[in-house]
Structure 1
Amino acid sequence: MKWKQLPLGPLQTNAYLLINERKECLIFDPGSEGEAFNSYLEENALKPLAILLTHAHFDHIGAVDAVRKHWNVPVYVHKKEKNWLGDPSLNGSQFFQLGPITANPAEHLILSEEKLVISNFELEILFTPGHSPGSVSFYHEASKVVFSGDALFAGSIGRTDLPGGNHEQLIQSIHNKLLILPEETTVLSGHGMTTTIEREMDSNPFLNGF
């Protein structure tokens, strides 16, 4: 399998595709530019199977409805953020000068840490709250990647000043759920460059000394 990073929208939020040999794909965090995103999928003859949300902040959900409607695929989000999709005061869009951003309710609520199997994709769901109450990361062992959302970045960590954020909880999530992954695991973050677990263990200034 292979993955593709697609930065979208004014905040350049990273959407990702995980693609199998049949050109089926899972979509992670389609944050904006729904028409352009759909065009990319069509031009590359990709067949989406589902939209997986690491969390429901506005910059990660802006294209959800456009993509879901076009491809008729279900959306997955953690149960703690089931109401965030339709509420700008929870998803944060009311605090920025972009207008209210909403999406319709998700078809599937993530209830616990578990294996998620869709076609021949097998992902491990890791509960990584702190940036938001329902933040999750998706670990694909076969590809040695983790889709970390806004929990862990190259040289940084997610902000915790939006509704439901908790700095101590985020640090614990990173140490207890992400840094225990194999060191060669590639971290596919919600913004910025990719990194690795090893690199963040060694040099992330927010994690050293914990």
Structure 2
Amino acid sequence: MDMERSSSTERFQPVTSVNSGDGVPVGEDLYSYTIQVVNIIFYGKPGIGNDWVLIDAGMPKSGGKILEAAAERFGENNPPKAIILTHAHFDHIGGLIDLLEHWDVPVFAHPLELPYITGKRDYPDPDMTVEGGMVAKMSKMFPNESIDIGERARELPSDDTVPHMTGWRWIHTPGHTEGHVSLFRESDGSLIAGDAFVTVKQDSLYKVMTQELEVSGPPVYLTPDWESAEQSVKALAQLQPGAAITGHGVPVTGEYLQKELAVLAERFKEKAVPDHGKFVDGEK
């Protein structure tokens, strides 16, 4: 079926990091792969022919790189069972339509996120006036338009299970977007947090380029609801995750993760919420 592209899939963004093209295994079945400044996640044990799931779909124009990385990990002509979206900002769905032209697979997202992948609603414009570093100032060039993948868009199950990811549950973690979700596995404390929190100061161009580790709140220029964002971080901190892969930054594990996430939750307004910006000030 026909799909409708937009600037969210077509407008290449000239930003990158030292980790672009690198993959980091997290346990036996999670693999964080960095595309420019954002992470996609492969879930499944590596090996030709093994079943697997893709979480998020990278930057605009990144479909080819994702296909190559997937083939290297799971073999040629071995599509995922599904694609799960933490949310549908341009840097998490940029390669999606390119992938769906090769893989006839369902794409699961929270019901509140579906309008952004079925062409019904665009996100608010990024806030380049927000307090923050150079990336915040550059955010005016970031696309906010929806795409349309048609009938391949599916709602995540209402019982909080994650399709083709046994033992995982999805958690509604709004704030960064209305329908943002994180994925959690109770058995070993693995967390896929999307942009509910990140492990790099995402508004700082230097820190983004160098991937300097810092457990931080969601990107300030694209977070319209700070009260919900705070409650989401607090909910994730209460899980005391043993390992976390976030949308931006390096994976983190163990005591450092739990300590820094608890500090972020406790001091969220001080550490995460900007002093000024249209979303902080109640503008749309």
Category of TM-score, reference length = shorter chain: 0.7 to 0.9
Q: Deviations over 1:134-181 (max 9, x none)?
A: 000011334531110000123101035537x211211111212x1122
Which residue does 2:234 correspond to in 1? 175
Are 2:102 and 1:70 aligned?
A: yes
Equivalent of residue 141 in structure 2, options 97, 102, 119: 97
- Mapping of 1:72-91 within 5 angstroms? 72-85=104-117, 86=119, 89-90=122-123
Which residue does 1:53 correspond to in 2? 85
Are 2:195 and 1:195 aligned?
A: no
Which residue does 1:159 correspond to in 2? 219
Identity over aligned pairs, percent: 25
Q: Deviations over 1:18-76 (max 9, x none)?
A: 11376211101111310121122223315411110001111100111111221211101
Aligned length in residues:
204
**TM-score of the superposed pair, with normalisation by structure 1:** 0.82
The gaps in structure 2 that reach 5 residues or longer are: 1-27, 127-138, 200-214, 269-284
Give distance in 2, aligned partners of 1:91 and 1:34. Answer: 25
Aligned-partner residue type, residue 16 of structure 1: I
The gaps in structure 1 that reach 5 residues or longer are: none
**TM-score of the superposed pair, with normalisation by structure 2:** 0.63
Which residue does 1:5 correspond to in 2? 32
Which residue does 2:181 correspond to in 1? 136
Q: Deviations over 1:99-157 (max 9, x none)?
A: 65734245311364612241x63320111111111000011334531110000123101
Q: Bigger CA drift: 14-23 or 122-131?
A: 14-23
Give distance in 2, aligned partners of 1:101 and 1:114. Answer: 25
Which residue does 1:39 correspond to in 2? 68
More strand by share: 1
Give distance in 2, aligned partners of 1:76 and 1:68. Answer: 13
Give distance in 2, aligned partners of 1:47 and 1:83. Answer: 25
Work out whether residues 27 and 52 of structure 1, in 8 Å CA contact, stay in contact via their aligned partners in 2.
yes
Aligned-partner residue type, residue 15 of structure 1: I
Work out whether residues 243 and 257 of structure 2, in 8 Å CA contact, stay in contact via their aligned partners in 1.
no
Work out whether residues 56 and 91 of structure 1, in 8 Å CA contact, stay in contact via their aligned partners in 2.
no
Which residue does 1:116 correspond to in 2? 162
User: SS of the residue aligned with 1:82?
Assistant: helix
User: SS of the residue aligned with 1:126?
Assistant: strand
Closer/same/farther in 2, CA of residues 98 and 117 from structure 1, 3 Å limit: closer
Per-residue deviation, 1:98? 5.5
